[in-house]
């Protein structure tokens, strides 16, 4: 398989990379020590400022001037989650922002810009809004704590990542801008690694983001995000040692797997839809790897 990432990686590492005009614009303005990419927001700020309250509440469609691409039943919209916390020790990785996250982000970045905030501050604020909120956050914290991530981070609980220890956390998605399929939140179909447009989006956005987080641990939420990270490790965007896969997705729709993984539901009570052996293996592997990192001098690589 050719190394697709080599064509779009940071030009500070590969000055003569052959990339698309859009990628060259993004990469040409990227510094690996920058706290955010922050390069697309100026392009979309005029359109964001014109959004109506009905558009921002989801009652009427967004304008096409915020659309990054449309390919058949797939649509992708600019999402202002470009901030990168390069100091993060742990990166939580979803598939793509959903409609709620997209609208919350657009609302916040518009409010920030109207108040005169800088691009950097506006993007940082937009990233914080609604990150794994509600039941999703509750389930996520339980999963992280059960595996032992909080111990490795030196925290009483992973809940602190969303409070006093937020500087240790970076949240993102393998398809960083919101993707929809047939008008609904994209859930992994069609396969992003086989679909040329989605694959390019993965490489041009998330792969560059990952390259700025070389010392962080990446925790994919669910199998689809994990598969994308494994692919990118083969492309050189991050090392396989950085990937700590195995957590079930924290969505309330996945409650049985969450409850079994966290010890709240016995194996005897599981339905036929839950693969207990797979979850036990994943949990054991994560716990062992995290314990090994607690040894003085242990590193991800």
Residues 82-103: tens digit of each pLDDT: 999 999 999 999 999 989 899 9
Q: pLDDT at position 157, please?
A: 97
Q: pLDDT at position 289, please?
A: 94
Q: pLDDT at position 245, please?
A: 97
Q: pLDDT at position 298, please?
A: 65
CA pair distance 281, 283, nearest whole angstrom:
6
pTM for this entry: 0.85
pLDDT beneath 50, residues of the chain: 1-38
List the domain boundaries for the chain.
21-293
Q: For CA atoms 61, 108, 110, 66, give the dihedral sign.
A: negative
- Structure token pair of residue 301: 């690589």
Give the residue carrying structure tokens 């069609």. Answer: 190
Which residue in 256, 193, 200 sits closest to 20, CA to CA?
Answer: 200
- Structure token pair of residue 46: 């005029």
Q: pLDDT at position 294, please?
A: 77
- Structure token pair of residue 184: 């609904």
Q: pLDDT at position 58, please?
A: 92
CA pair distance 11, 13, nearest whole angstrom:
5
């Amino acid at each position: 398989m050719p190394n697709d990432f080599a064509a779009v990686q940071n030009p500070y590492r590969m000055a003569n990379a052959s990339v698309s005009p859009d990628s060259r614009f993004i990469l040409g303005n990227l510094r690996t020590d920058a706290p955010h990419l922050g390069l697309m927001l100026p392009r979309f700020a005029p359109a964001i400022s014109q959004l109506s309250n009905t558009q921002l509440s989801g009652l009427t469609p967004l304008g096409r001037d915020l659309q990054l691409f449309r390919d058949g039943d797939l649509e992708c919209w600019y999402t202002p989650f470009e901030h990168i916390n390069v100091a993060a020790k742990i990166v939580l990785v979803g598939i793509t922002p959903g409609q709620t996250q997209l609208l919350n982000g657009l609302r916040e970045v518009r409010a920030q810009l109207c108040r005169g905030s800088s691009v950097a501050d506006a993007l940082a604020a937009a990233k914080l809004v609604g990150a794994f909120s509600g039941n999703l956050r509750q389930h996520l914290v339980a999963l992280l704590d059960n595996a032992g991530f909080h111990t490795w981070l030196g925290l009483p609980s992973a809940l602190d990542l969303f409070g006093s220890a937020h500087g240790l956390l970076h949240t993102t998605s393998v398809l960083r801008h919101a993707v929809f399929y047939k008008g609904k939140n994209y859930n992994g179909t069609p396969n992003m690694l086989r679909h040329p447009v989605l694959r390019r989006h993965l490489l041009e956005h998330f792969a560059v983001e990952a390259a700025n987080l070389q010392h962080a641990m990446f925790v994919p939420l669910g199998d689809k995000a994990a598969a994308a990270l494994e692919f990118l490790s083969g492309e050189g965007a991050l090392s396989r040692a950085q990937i700590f896969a195995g957590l079930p997705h924290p969505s309330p729709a996945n409650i049985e797997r969450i409850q079994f993984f966290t010890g709240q539901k016995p194996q005897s009570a599981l339905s036929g839809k839950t693969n207990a052996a797979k979850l036990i293996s994943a949990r054991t592997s994560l716990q062992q790897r995290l314990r090994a990192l607690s040894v003085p001098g242990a590193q991800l690589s």
